[in-house]
Structure 1
């Protein structure tokens, strides 16, 4: 019995350790130069609550067939509103608590958007395209970073500025965007990858 209990404790400890390990998320996107992809390395130790929400959203396929609706090359690229208004309403009612900011908003990091109110993060994300360290003091906590040449792919996203209206996206979804902004770049799919499945052999 004692031995069995020790084994169970060991397995539980392993499960907790694995839950806290970095993982990757692969984004397949439509750019101005066709379909390409980039990979985000996710760091649970940076912002654990944000990471849990991101993982939950990816597993629910929330980001599949969504649009990049705010593209400011000298600031951020923002996305994370569903093409389905009912889905937007559901997740908007489930904000998460704030994480402490432990990493800076440097180029290539990915962060949850939020309002000026505390504990207001839901589904919207942004990729920092320049050094936005000033956002650190405003409570924006990065939870991952784009790897390798992935920012070259981000640079090919259609530059729509801030023209799409986020309120209209919330209420009308992709019907609004496809009618008014058919040229927007979009996310085809996002999937989670264990570290060992996405590392080149010489890095393993």
Structure 2
């Protein structure tokens, strides 16, 4: 397993522009099925979520999209043939959402190409950080990571997988060593990695 892959930092650095947060949002329940459209610097793609695969993950993803968490976020780690990772922002927002724990769930459907799952660093650490599988990653179904087994998927890219596959991947894992900078000063992080692609907007589709 590649170093740093699912590390999730709950750091104390305060960002100058944290995203809005209301604890009541974390009580919202998602539909059984729903779609999300991502408008990115590379184009548009859609994800269809099936709540029965991982209900708690589907709920949290729904909450994040509904309340505009992903708007103007970076695909901060794109590892060719492995994953495209996003969802980390300023530390205040991460800590706010992370303060409401998402219970762990078993893997029902495997990490095949195009599926989406939450990253995590241990028990009940699924919070805001996600990855889309860029290939079939079967080992992620059963691997034990800090006493938690596997990474449950809860949806799949149904349109625009070519867009996801085209996300800039030239930095690979190089960004992972400087995530503290992204949490504290996103503009400086972007200066270091100017070719990273951006999520302009993520929207629930009716």
TM-score, normalised to structure 1, is: 0.78
Rounded to whole Å, the distance in 2 between the matches of 1:93 and 1:175 is 26
Identify if the C-alpha distance between structure 1 residues 50 and 19 changes in structure 2 by more than 3 Å, giving closer, same or farther: closer
Rounded to whole Å, the distance in 1 between the matches of 2:91 and 2:185 is 5
**2:179 match:** 166
From the CA coordinates, give the structure whose radius of gyration is larger: 1
What stretches of structure 1 move > 3 A for 4+ residues in a row? none
State the shift of 1:87 in Å: 1.5
**1:73 match:** 80
Q: Of residues 133, 136, 140 in structure 2, which corresponds to 1:135?
A: 140
Alignment of 1:107-186 (within 5 A): 107-115=113-121, 117-138=122-143, 139-148=150-159, 150-159=160-169, 160-164=171-175, 165-170=178-183, 172-186=184-198
1:42 maps to 2:49: yes
> Higher mean Cα deviation, 117-126 or 105-114?
117-126
Describe the SS at the equivalent of 2:77.
Answer: strand
State the shift of 1:134 in Å: 1.0
Identify if the C-alpha distance between structure 1 residues 144 and 96 changes in structure 2 by more than 3 Å, giving closer, same or farther: same
Q: Deviations over 1:44-84 (max 9, x none)?
A: 011100000000111111100010111112111101012x3
Describe the SS at the equivalent of 1:147.
Answer: strand
Q: Do the aligned partners of 1:28 and 1:190 also contact (CA within 8 Å) in 2?
A: yes
Rounded to whole Å, the distance in 2 between the matches of 1:173 and 1:103 is 37
List gaps (5 residues or longer) in structure 2. 1-28, 144-149
Q: Do the aligned partners of 1:96 and 1:119 also contact (CA within 8 Å) in 2?
A: yes
State the shift of 1:163 in Å: 1.6
Q: CA RMSD in A?
A: 1.7
Q: Do the aligned partners of 1:20 and 1:45 also contact (CA within 8 Å) in 2?
A: no
Q: Deviations over 1:136-180 (max 9, x none)?
A: 1132000100013x210012111121122223323x152232221
Describe the SS at the equivalent of 1:45.
Answer: helix
List gaps (5 residues or longer) in structure 1. 1-17, 195-204
Q: Deviations over 1:90-130 (max 9, x none)?
A: 22333311122100000000000001x21111110000011
TM-score, normalised to structure 2, is: 0.77
